[in-house]
């Protein structure tokens, strides 16, 4: 059976957190085209509904789960159960939901630190625990954690953000070792500069400096697009990537080599 045949099996359901905008939206659209039934989990209900409606109108299958705060375990568990009820067992999880922050280290408050850790790291912990049983039972699963190249290089005024993303990389490697015998692969994509609503907002606030100058310093001479991340994620979620686990798949235009 080919990878496409596998992906078009209606039992194969993918969950994308933060799937209503930016990289998550591009990933959700790509996985739908690959043949997965896609659940779009997002705090922004309107955004999740919009993406799901467009996927469904294109002849694929998508479910919107809006208003879900993935930093709250109870909300995660309820959302994942709804996905099972409506789409079937969850065999692909993309932990993409995240927030950013810019603050001098000495000025980071406990509240700012805790919020970033809860949304960026705890959410991946909760979501993975909620779905790994489905994958173990099926003997097949794909987990992709969207981390950040800032965790690899460091980034001024982003200690809380980079720390949360660095922990996602460590979690990826640990889970790859633990879950591999069950047929589950776990990998991480640390994006470089990707033109998303979050990046535009950061640029508008003056946190990123001259974006054109930033692009000019990259070997590929451009800022990335969400579809660049979606393409890598598509591969990692396929049968073709069954021998790829515990890996850091950098999609960063050459920022990190």
What pLDDT is stored for residue 4 in this prediction? Answer: 44
pTM for this entry: 0.92
Q: Tens digits of per-residue pLDDT, 183-209?
A: 999 999 999 888 777 766 766 676 566
| 247 in a structural domain | no
- Residues (pLDDT < 70) of the chain are 1-11, 199-200, 202-204, 206-209
Residue of 157, 161, 235, 243 with catalytic role: 161
| 248 in a structural domain | no
Query: For the chain, how many structural domains are there in total?
Result: 1
Question: Domain range for residue 199?
Answer: 3-241
Q: What is the DSSP annotation of 154-209?
A: --TT-HHHHHHHHHHHHHHHHHHHHHGGGTEEEEEE-B-SB--HHHHHHHHTTSS-
Q: What is the CATH number of the domain that holds 7?
A: 3.40.50.720
Q: Is 161 a catalytic residue?
A: yes
| 180 in a structural domain | yes
CA distance 28 to 53: 12
Positive or negative CA dihedral for 149, 171, 158, 70?
A: positive
What's the Rg (C-alpha) of the chain? Answer: 17
Q: Tens digits of per-residue pLDDT, 84-112?
A: 999 999 999 999 999 999 999 999 999 99
């Amino acid at each position: 059976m080919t990878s496409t045949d596998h992906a078009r099996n209606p039992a194969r359901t993918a969950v994308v957190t933060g799937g209503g905008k930016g990289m998550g939206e591009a990933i959700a659209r790509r996985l739908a085209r690959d043949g997965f039934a896609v659940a779009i989990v997002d705090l922004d209900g309107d955004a999740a509904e919009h993406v799901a409606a467009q996927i469904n109108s294109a002849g694929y299958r998508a479910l919107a789960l809006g208003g879900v705060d993935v930093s709250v375990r109870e909300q995660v568990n309820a959302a994942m159960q709804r996905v099972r009820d409506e789409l079937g067992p969850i065999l692909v999880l993309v932990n993409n939901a995240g927030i950013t922050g810019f603050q001098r280290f000495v000025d980071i408050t406990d509240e700012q630190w805790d919020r970033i850790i809860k949304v960026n790291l705890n959410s991946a912990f909760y979501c993975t625990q909620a779905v790994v049983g489905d994958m173990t039972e099926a003997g097949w699963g794909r987990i992709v954690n969207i981390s950040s190249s800032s965790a690899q290089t460091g980034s001024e005024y982003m200690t809380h953000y980079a720390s949360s993303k660095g922990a996602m990389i460590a979690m990826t490697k640990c889970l790859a070792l633990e879950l591999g015998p069950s047929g589950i692969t776990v990998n991480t994509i640390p994006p470089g500069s990707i033109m998303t609503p979050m990046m535009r907002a950061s640029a508008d606030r003056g946190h990123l400096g001259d974006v054109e100058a930033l692009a000019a310093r990259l070997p590929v001479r451009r800022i990335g697009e969400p579809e660049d991340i979606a393409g890598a994620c598509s591969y990692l979620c396929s049968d073709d990537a069954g021998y790829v686990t515990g890996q850091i798949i950098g999609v960063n235009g050459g920022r990190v080599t």
